[in-house]
Structure 1
Amino acid sequence: MAEVVVIGAGLSGTLMAYELLPQLGKDDRLSVISQGALYHFVPSNPWVAVGWRRRDEIEIDLEKVMKRKNIRLLVQGAKRVYPTENRVELGDGTSVGYDYLVVATGPELAFDEIPGLGPQGHTQSVCHVDHASHAREAFDRLAANPGPVVIGAVQGASCFGPAYEFLFILETELRRRKLRDQVPMTFVTSEPYIGHLGLDGVGDTKGLLESEMRAKHVKWITNARVNAVEAGKMLVEELAEDGSVRKTHELPFAYSMMLPAFRGVEAVRGIDGLTNPRGFVVVDKHQRNPAFPNIFAVGVCVAIPPIGATAVPVGVPKTGFMIESMVTATAMNIGALLKGREPTTQPTWNAICLADFGDSGVAFLAQPQIPPRNVNWSAKGEWVHYAKVAFEKYFLRKMRRGESEPFYERFVLDKLNIAKIKEVRTGT
């Protein structure tokens, strides 16, 4: 009998559990450690923040699903991993032993690295549904008393798509309320250029996003380092390519949403051989940790080096499709180990993204996600918005049923068939 444990029950952890089940023997046991029993669909958080969704519409009770699938769900959360002892200490002081461990915790949100940043300070966030609900209350106050808005992502951030999404979703809602003319908007980002996305761009994301901002009268500051946030004011340095300060900005705001930098969670951070200095789990080409070969990692908690040097630190995003490839490879590799074989499956690390802008959007396809690429394509259109809405419904329906499948791949490639769209548009 093998004890297989997954830490985390977000996108990567939940999918990991579903895909592991078919790999297990009849006497093996699968446990998932989670902070509570509710899963929420993170890509919908920007919609929650402007009132287009209620939080209960994007939440799933994992206790019911896991019980139906005979997966043990431990809702105490993980306090600390002890790799040399093959055990995880839980939040209530008890411990769970494992033969194989998958770290799928997602990140810790490093709001504390910048004074005044985050929901406990002076800016909003869409990283968690709790934050998005708080952001909705702040948005209602903005609508009642319009003023300047600052949206973006700070130094060290590795997730830029939701910042662009929220910028344009907020802009769309302000236009619908006939308030846009009273709300100057500025986008502040650590990226070296608009549309970099931590990926050195995909297709013409630079041109597409800059064009969208110009059309919507949004100003932007790139190579931005946020030094502090005060009530109603953000202090920003704009750096030159050599790292020197090119310009300083004091940006007034009535509302701000800034994505923070990420770091590894406390349960694994600082464990020699397991994580890097930032606390992200080090893995090989099979998603396996070299120092502790019975530990795997998937999702945002995985250590990936930056694409290249930038004036302001910029991380690499882990998109849903990329995470799915990590999950599938890890499930197959643990399955191989359980059968006495060595891991051989490698994730593709391709990226497919649908970025909703409220009434339009941008889609991109990067194969692989890290350049140079075999496919490097992006496109803009109203169809992206409707595709994102359709995918949300599709994904939540499948998750509530506990079905294990590569959601992004099946939906985007089979239903929208972006690869064929590219062929038609380019003639290749």
Structure 2
Amino acid sequence: MAEIVVIGAGLSGTLMAYELLAQVRREDRLTVISEGPAYHFVPSNPWVAVGWRKRDEIEIDLVDIMKRKGIRLLTQGARRVHASDKRIELNDGAIVDYDYLVIATGPELAFDEIPGLGPQGHTQSVCHVDHAAHAKAAFDKLAENPGPVVIGAVQGASCFGPAYEFLFILETELRRRKLRDRVPMTFVTSEPYVGHLGLDGVGDTKGLLESELREKHVKWITNARVTSVEAGRMMVEELTEDGALRKTHELPFAYSMMLPAFRGVAAVRGIEKLTNPRGFIIVDKHQRNPDFPNVFAVGVCVAIPPIGPTPVPVGVPKTGFMIESMVTATAMNIGALLRGREPAAQPTWNAICLADFGDSGVAFLAQPQIPPRNVNWSSKGEWVHYAKVAFEKYFLRKMRRGAPEPFYERFLLDRLNIAKVKELRTGT
């Protein structure tokens, strides 16, 4: 009998548990450790923040689903991984031993690295459904008393798509309410150029997103380093390409949503040879840690080096399609180990993304996600908005059933309009 444990029940952890079911043997036990019993669909958070979705519409209670699947669910959360001893200390003091561990915790949000940043400070976030609900209450106040808006992502951020999405979703809702003319908007990003996305761009994301910003009368600041945030005021340093200070901005705002930098969670941060200095899990080509070969990692918690040097630190995103490839490879590799074979499966790390802008959107395909690429394609259109709405419904329905399948791959390559599928698959 083997004890297989997954820490985390977000996208990567939940999918990991589902896919492991097909790999474990009858005598093995599969355990998921989560912070609470609920899963929520993070890509819908920008919609929650403007009232287009309610929290309960994007949340799923995992208790019954996991029970039906024969998966032990522990909702106390993990306090510390003791990798040398092959055990996990839970927040209530309980101990869970493991033979194989998959770390799928996602990140810790590093709001504290900038004074005044975050929901406990003076800016909003859409990284968690709790934050999105808080952002909705702040948006209601903005609607009652319109004023300047500052949206973006700070230095060290590695997930830029939601910043662009929320900017344009917010802009769309303001237009619908006939308030847009009373709300000046500025996009502030650590990216070296608009549309970099932590990926050095994909296709013509630079041109597409710059055009969208101009069309929607949104000013922008790139190579931006946020130094502090006060009530109604953000201090920003704009750097040159060689890292010198070009200009200091003092940006007034009535509402601001800024994505933070990520770091590894406290349960793993600082474990020598398991994590890098930011607390992300070091893995090899099989998603396996080289020094603790019974430990794997998938999702946002995985250490991926930046694409290249930039004046302001910029991380690399881990998209849903990419995460699915990590999950599938890891499940197959643990299945091999359980049967006395060496891991052989490798993730593809391709990226397919649908970025919703409220009434249109941008889609891009990067094969592989890290350049140079075999396919480097992007496109803009109303179809992207409707595809993302359809995918949300598809994904949540499948998740409630506990379906062990690669949701992003099946939907994006099999369920979209045939012409668009061809574009996504071939880049033509």
Instruction: Mark yes or no: TM-score above 0.5.
Output: yes
Alpha-carbon deviation of 1:136? 0.1
Question: Which residue number corresponds to residue 287 of structure 2?
Answer: 287
Question: Which residue number corresponds to residue 373 of structure 1?
Answer: 373
Structure 2 Cα separation of the partners of residues 22 and 420 of structure 1: 30
2:409 aligned with 1:412:
no
Mark the CA change 1:78 to 1:368 in structure 2 (over 3 Å): closer, same or farther.
same
Please give the residue correspondences for 1:172-211 in structure 2 after superposition, counting only pairs within 5 Å.
Answer: 172-211=172-211
Structure 2 Cα separation of the partners of residues 151 and 74 of structure 1: 37
Please provide the CA RMSD for this pair. 0.9
Structure 1 Cα separation of the partners of residues 274 and 359 of structure 2: 43
Question: Which residue number corresponds to residue 249 of structure 2?
Answer: 249
Question: Which residue number corresponds to residue 117 of structure 1?
Answer: 117
Structure 2 Cα separation of the partners of residues 190 and 64 of structure 1: 42
Aligned partner of residue 22 in structure 1, secondary structure = coil
Structure 2 Cα separation of the partners of residues 254 and 383 of structure 1: 32
Q: Deviations over 1:37-92 (max 9, x none)?
A: 00000000000000000000000000010001010000000000001110000000
Structure 2 Cα separation of the partners of residues 57 and 244 of structure 1: 46
Question: Which residue number corresponds to residue 60 of structure 1?
Answer: 60
Structure 1 Cα separation of the partners of residues 315 and 308 of structure 2: 10
Question: Which residue number corresponds to residue 328 of structure 1?
Answer: 328
Specify the code of the residue in structure 2 equivalent to 1:420. Answer: K
Please give the residue correspondences for 1:304-315 in structure 2 after superposition, counting only pairs within 5 Å.
Answer: 304-315=304-315
Structure 1 Cα separation of the partners of residues 167 and 243 of structure 2: 27
Specify the code of the residue in structure 2 equivalent to 1:286. Answer: H
Mark the CA change 1:425 to 1:352 in structure 2 (over 3 Å): closer, same or farther.
closer
Please give the residue correspondences for 1:340-419 in structure 2 after superposition, counting only pairs within 5 Å.
Answer: 340-416=340-416, 418-419=420-421
Structure 1 Cα separation of the partners of residues 385 and 173 of structure 2: 14
Alpha-carbon deviation of 1:21? 0.5
Structure 2 Cα separation of the partners of residues 319 and 425 of structure 1: 18
Question: Which residue number corresponds to residue 24 of structure 1?
Answer: 24
Asked if the contact 2:125–2:257 (Cα under 8 Å) also holds between the matched residues in 1, the reply is yes
User: How many residues are paired up?
Assistant: 426
Q: Deviations over 1:87-145 (max 9, x none)?
A: 00000001100000000000000000000000000000000000000000000000000
Provide TM-score, normalisation by structure 1: 0.99
Question: Which residue number corresponds to residue 275 of structure 1?
Answer: 275
Q: Deviations over 1:371-417 (max 9, x none)?
A: 00001000000000000000000000000000011111110011225
Aligned partner of residue 378 in structure 1, secondary structure = strand
Q: Deviations over 1:330-371 (max 9, x none)?
A: 000000000000000000000000000000000000000000
Question: Which residue number corresponds to residue 101 of structure 2?
Answer: 101
Structure 2 Cα separation of the partners of residues 422 and 141 of structure 1: 40
Structure 2 Cα separation of the partners of residues 197 and 381 of structure 1: 19
Alpha-carbon deviation of 1:425? 8.1
Specify the code of the residue in structure 2 equivalent to 1:131. Answer: H
2:164 aligned with 1:164:
yes
Please give the residue correspondences for 1:290-305 in structure 2 after superposition, counting only pairs within 5 Å.
Answer: 290-305=290-305
Aligned partner of residue 365 in structure 1, secondary structure = strand
2:154 aligned with 1:154:
yes
Q: Deviations over 1:137-177 (max 9, x none)?
A: 00000000000000000000000000000000000000000
Question: Which residue number corresponds to residue 83 of structure 1?
Answer: 83
Structure 2 Cα separation of the partners of residues 242 and 421 of structure 1: 37
Q: Deviations over 1:264-322 (max 9, x none)?
A: 00000000000000000000000000010000000000000000000000000000000
Structure 2 Cα separation of the partners of residues 332 and 425 of structure 1: 29
Structure 1 Cα separation of the partners of residues 414 and 352 of structure 2: 13
Q: Deviations over 1:231-255 (max 9, x none)?
A: 0000000000111100000000000
Aligned partner of residue 412 in structure 1, secondary structure = helix
Work out the percentage of aligned pairs sharing the same amino acid.
84
Specify the code of the residue in structure 2 equivalent to 1:205. Answer: T
Specify the code of the residue in structure 1 equivalent to 2:194. Answer: I
Question: Which residue number corresponds to residue 263 of structure 1?
Answer: 263
Alpha-carbon deviation of 1:421? 2.6
Specify the code of the residue in structure 1 equivalent to 2:422. Answer: K
Structure 1 Cα separation of the partners of residues 424 and 314 of structure 2: 29
Structure 2 Cα separation of the partners of residues 94 and 326 of structure 1: 29
Provide TM-score, normalisation by structure 2: 0.99
The gaps in structure 1 that reach 5 residues or longer are none
Mark the CA change 1:425 to 1:315 in structure 2 (over 3 Å): closer, same or farther.
closer
Asked if the contact 2:365–2:424 (Cα under 8 Å) also holds between the matched residues in 1, the reply is no
